[in-house]
Amino acid sequence: VYFGVNRGVKAGSYNGQLQDGSPRLSPDEIKYKEEVLTNYEGGVKWTFFEGMARLNGSVYYYDYNDYQAFVFAQSSGTVSNNDGNTIGTEWELIAQPMEGLDVMLSMAWFDAEVKDLELAPTLLVDVEPSFAPPLQQAGLARYEWPAFSGKLAVQGDFHYSDRFYYNIRNFDSQKYDDYVVGNLRVSYTTEDDRWTLAGFVNNVGNAKYGVMGFDLATLCGCNEDYYGKPRWFGVSLSYSYQ
């Protein structure tokens, strides 16, 4: 078990004036302060079942002073200083319940808040950080066995992401929904561990999920969105120099 307190600092800097017709920044908005983070964290690392399983877990609290909040607007953005905090937990289980079988599960959850972000003059709201899904889960199972003078293996894995905003202003038009992506893989490795032939299918369920976005509403009345790959499959052949 462990417990620790850490303090980190991110340097301050300056906002540049935008050249796209946006209102010019006031002198008070050009410079932003350093960000100071104090992290309180405790956890456990536990090996059990005669070494066949390992559990790692942690609980933490982040206390931000002058958090550097980046607001994307027009075709660029500005950074402002706002206080904030995050409370969360992360867990990971790695196990080999039988010979040739590996199982991994992980989970991360947190509740984060950035305080008093200015959306408009005199309009201050508490928001979530951008690109910060509150819950994420992942898992993998892989089984390998001797075959054809080498080794065959089958593997399946998945990743779940909760909904998140790609702009700290947290408008509904800037939110991506939650999603699950699963992958499958079959491989054969020769006896000398040099050659591996594999076939795979990624994003088996053909999930449509957002990865990156830009709010261009004040420029063109639109958003620019980038999505992850749809279902795709292929084969690979690799050689290991030993």
One pLDDT digit (tens) per residue for the chain, 242 residues: 999 999 999 999 998 876 655 667 778 888 999 999 999 999 999 999 999 999 999 999 999 999 999 988 766 788 999 999 999 999 999 999 999 999 999 999 999 999 999 988 889 999 999 999 999 999 999 999 999 999 999 999 999 999 999 999 999 999 999 999 999 999 999 999 999 999 999 999 999 999 999 888 777 888 899 999 999 999 999 999 87
- Judge whether 137 and 181 are in contact, CB under 8 Å: no
Phi, psi (5° rounding) for residue 218? -80, -10
The whole-model pTM stands at 0.90
Alpha-carbon distance of 35 to 33, in angstroms, equals 6
**Two tokens, residue 197:** 């032939």
Coil, helix or strand at residue 44: strand
Terminal-to-terminal C-alpha distance of the chain: 38
Would you list the DSSP string of 124-161? EEEEPPTT--SEEEEEEEEEEEEETTEEEEEEEEEEEE
For residue 203, which amino acid is it? Answer: N
Counting every residue, how long is the chain?
Answer: 242
Stated as kind and residue range, the H or E segment containing 218 is: helix 217-220
CA atoms within 13 A on the CB side of 59: 2
